[in-house]
Amino acid sequence: MATDTDVASPDRTSADTHRRGRHPIAGPVSTLILLFARAVTAVRANWSPAGPPARQHVYFANHSSHGDFILIWTVLPPRERRRTRPVAGAEYWLKSRLTRFIGRDVFNAVLIERQQETRSEDPVARMAGTLDEGASLILFPEGTRNQTEDPLLPFKSGLYHLSRLRPDVELVPVWISNLNRVMPKGEFVPIPLICTVTFGEPLRVHADEPKQDFLDRARAALLSLSPHTDTAA
Amino acid sequence: MTEARSDLLTLVLGICAFLIVATVIGQVLQRRLSPDRSNASIENLNARINAWWVMVALIGIAFLAGRAGVIVLFAFCSFAALREFVTLTRTRRADHWALAAAFFVVLPVQYYLVATDWYGLYAIFIPVYAFLLMPIAAVLRGDTERFLDRVAEVQWALMICVFCISHVPALLTLQIPGYEGRNVLLIAFLVIVVQMSDVLQYVWGKLFGRTRIAPRLSPSKTVEGFLGGVASATLIGAALWWITPFTPLQAGLLALVVTLMGFFGGLVMSAIKRDRGVKDWGHIVEGHGGLIDRLDSVIFSAPVFFHIVRYGWSLA
């Protein structure tokens, strides 16, 4: 399924599945971003009773801001952080040299093509391939940033298909709270506010579970982590 | 200057001795009575003691760095407190510029005015100018939903977290004849009296507390704890007269005012927390609540203490 000789983005696979070709200042830049995220949000993790994750996981989270995965990354224990890669839209992150540097070198994102008509590679197969290399993934199953008043948009089906392909990897719901207030869409000055990242109990797709049932169950698991006080728009 | 140094040294050694004794007692109590960390009172006590160590270390470092160090330290306290406060407000997207201005304009300007000793402006900058300009920043976005609530919340956040806290380092700017170079001890006096009052109210309440004083606000506060704590903190304040420009009687009276303001400040901040359905303001130290939880009584007493000392003892 995965074609490494794709003409649309020729060096994609080699650059973002291995960190060998990483830009020399990508490391310091990522440290700076983590420090900045802590200074602005004083972010704290609420772990599930099992404690901080030690095994390979697929984290799936609510998505309202570009900083979402940075917060998850910030609170993960360093060992887990190093192997955790966000799944992000290629068309956004390959737009300019700067976003390419941030997306690929700094965040080591798994860049997938979202447009079904034009894409040359199946995103789910690519995510599965990344899991096979030992990485953990951060996935935003809403598919896009949520700008509505609803707490959570309907899920896209990628989470289900990925879990079918790699049933041994547990899916962990992660609720990110308050970050949408720190930097709403269209603003460029972040407001310092305390954010929390809440990790739920891991779940897996059942052997004969229908797609929609699983997606509903996963969505409910994520929603159940949202704090009741988090009502501010 | 040397006299000030030796007073400061005596005070620091005294505080460290006190904290060492407190730490040992806390650890012994924990080993004996709460080995599995299940006794909430003992855990609370140890959390307080740990917070004091951090407080003493930070204030000590800031004192060594001089006036600039103290001002920067309290500016950071204001930043962290404002972050906690705004997190609990129900602001909307239209408040974005007002909030950005609160953090990145009003806060630095207030501390700059304190640093340059411009009393005439820092005493009114937030109550007058921020009060008028912040709602203008908000109204330009055209969102009228809960408008008065929103601007009032932002104004309150600034008053509590920036205006009040900035009056602690402002004590350094007072010019008191015969007390030159020792103003840092006024901060020590204020912080020690308020903190001792907090913990002694807690201890008296645990030992003799029967009658709840404000059951709907703070179920752990009792009349007995309040009276015992205020009385003993007042005595401690009087006993600390030698680090202040006051006589023992004056020091005791000031300590009384400060502890009363601190007590009622704690109640006010509890009421806000209850309203917002939270137990703590934040989590600056894991499991030990937020910065405002530790500073609420200092916040309410600082401006009052500052003005009494300024009108009673200062030249300027």
Whether A229 and B86 lie within 8 Å, measured CB to CB: no
Query: B261 and B307 in contact (C-beta within 8 Å)?
Result: no
Tell me what pLDDT residue A231 has: 42
- Where do the domains of chain B lie? 1-64, 67-173, 180-316
Whether A233 and B83 lie within 8 Å, measured CB to CB: no
Is residue B54 within 8 angstroms of chain A, CB to CB? no
Rounded to an integer, what distance in angstroms lies between the CA atom of residue A196 and that of residue A179? 9
Measured between beta carbons, the chain B residues lying within 8 angstroms of A198 are none
Among candidate residues A22, A6, A25, the one with its CA nearest the CA of residue A125: A6
Q: What are the structural domains, with CATH classification, of chain A?
A: 45-223 (3.40.1130.10)
Whether B104 and A233 lie within 8 Å, measured CB to CB: no
- Give DSSP secondary structure letters for B203-242: HHHHHH--SBS-TTT-TT-BHHHHHHHHHHHHHHHHHTGG
Whether A42 and B99 lie within 8 Å, measured CB to CB: no
Measured between beta carbons, the chain B residues lying within 8 angstroms of A187 are 96
Per residue of chain A (233 residues), give pLDDT as tens. Answer: 344 433 334 333 433 444 556 778 888 888 899 999 999 998 888 888 888 888 899 999 999 888 888 999 999 988 888 889 999 888 888 888 888 888 888 888 888 887 777 777 788 888 999 999 999 999 999 988 888 878 888 898 889 999 989 999 999 999 998 888 898 877 888 999 999 999 999 998 888 889 899 999 999 999 999 875 444 43
Residue A79 neighbours by CB distance under 10 Å: 11
Is residue B85 within 8 angstroms of chain A, CB to CB? no
Distance, C-alpha B236 to centroid of its chain: 18
